[in-house]
């Protein structure tokens, strides 16, 4: 089952339109009961991205503590990624939108993040407005956001943002891993470069499952249960990759594991 979630260009209003159309064409749906999205945490996708990043680093004997993180995008997912990174002791450095990017050399703390959220949510303004509220922020300096030295990159914006050239640029500037916070933000060529140059890669098929995990666990789920589920999924993807001679390739592991789950379910139901 595909569970639609909020992301780039899709908020509660757009999800409401989708559900309204679903109700219109589906006689089984009902307008009664709980309000739409009342049990959905809009931060779930971003929170899941960071937990998967932490799981990947822990698997290598490392952690998010002190990591300088490049965030591409400034939507709800990007900002929830930043919020969770701060909780883990990491240092978000950037946000970006159609106006350009803002860079805080000393990092973005809770106060600065609240200011950015206010600009984006309440005023509906572009990110460039943030420089009025900050004395330390750099706007479009350097010219390319990928020229900013970082430890990890979290692309949370458009598809195909991280191309071969972008992947090389990140690696040249000291980046050690790219964790997708959006769907298909890394191209096929980009994935090959990341693998060739030894960077960690968290594919969206794995990292963007936060909302699905949240829905599966239910409204009463605890943070501990969420973390355990993330660890299980990461472990299964890693083990599957090893089993199919793709050691360390979480993209292959996640895709193969997903296929096997669906195939086995079909077999159990007699659909051969």
Asked if omega into 142 is within 30° of 0 (cis), the reply is yes
Across 67-204, the runs of DSSP E, i.e. the strands, are 68-72, 91-92, 94-97, 100-103, 138-139, 152-155, 177-179, 200-202
CA–CA distance, 90 with 268 (Å, rounded to integer): 44
What is the average pLDDT across 103-119? 95
Q: What is the pLDDT at residue 144?
A: 95
Burial class (CB in 10 A: 0-12, 13-18, 19+), 140: middle
Tokens of 30: 């009902």
Report the C-alpha dihedral over residues 16, 160, 110, 171, rounded to 10 degrees.
160
The mean per-residue pLDDT over the stretch 221-228 comes to 91
pLDDT tens-digit readout, 175-220: 999 999 999 999 999 999 999 999 999 999 999 998 888 888 877 8
**164-174 confidence digits (pLDDT tens):** 999 999 999 99
The whole-number pLDDT of residue 147 equals: 96
Per residue in 29-75, pLDDT (tens digit) is 444 555 544 445 667 789 999 999 999 999 999 999 999 999 999 99
Rounded Cα distance, 117 and 140, in Å: 19
DSSP reduced 3-state for 114:
helix
Place 121 in a pLDDT band, splitting at 50, 70 and 90: confident
The mean pLDDT value for 10-28 works out to 73
The residue-averaged pLDDT of 81-109 equals 96
pLDDT in tens, 230-268: 999 999 999 999 999 999 999 999 999 999 988 988 888
State the average pLDDT for the chain: 89
**Percent of the chain with pLDDT strictly greater than 70:** 89
Plot region of 76 (φ>0 → left; ψ -120 to 50 → alpha; else → beta): alpha
pTM for this model (two decimals): 0.85
Statement: residue 163 has pLDDT above 60: yes
């Amino acid at each position: 089952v595909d569970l639609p979630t909020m992301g780039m260009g899709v908020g509660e209003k757009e999800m409401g339109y989708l559900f309204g159309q679903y109700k219109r064409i589906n006689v089984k749906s009902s307008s009664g009961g709980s309000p739409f999205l009342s049990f959905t945490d809009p931060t779930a996708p971003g929170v899941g991205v960071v937990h998967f990043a932490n799981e990947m680093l822990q698997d290598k004997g490392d952690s998010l503590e002190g990591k300088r993180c490049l965030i591409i995008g400034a939507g709800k997912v990007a900002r929830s990624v930043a919020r969770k990174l701060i909780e883990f002791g990491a240092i978000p450095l950037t946000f970006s939108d159609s106006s350009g990017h803002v860079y805080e050399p000393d990092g973005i703390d809770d106060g600065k993040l609240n200011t950015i959220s206010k600009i984006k949510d309440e005023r509906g303004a572009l990110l460039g407005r943030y420089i009025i509220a900050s004395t330390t922020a750099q706007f479009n300096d350097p010219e390319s956001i990928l020229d900013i030295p970082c430890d990890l990159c979290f692309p949370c914006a458009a598809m195909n943002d991280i191309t071969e050239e972008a992947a090389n640029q990140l690696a040249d500037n000291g980046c050690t891993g790219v964790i997708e916070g959006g769907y298909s933000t890394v191209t096929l060529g980009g994935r090959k470069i990341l693998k060739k140059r030894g960077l960690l890669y968290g594919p969206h098929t794995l990292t963007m499952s936060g909302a699905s995990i949240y829905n599966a666990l239910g409204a009463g789920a605890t943070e501990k249960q969420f973390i355990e589920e993330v660890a299980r999924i990461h472990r299964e993807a890693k083990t599957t990759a090893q089993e199919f001679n793709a050691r360390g390739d979480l993209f292959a592991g996640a895709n193969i594991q997903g296929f096997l789950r669906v195939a086995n379910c079909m077999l159990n139901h007699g659909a051969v």
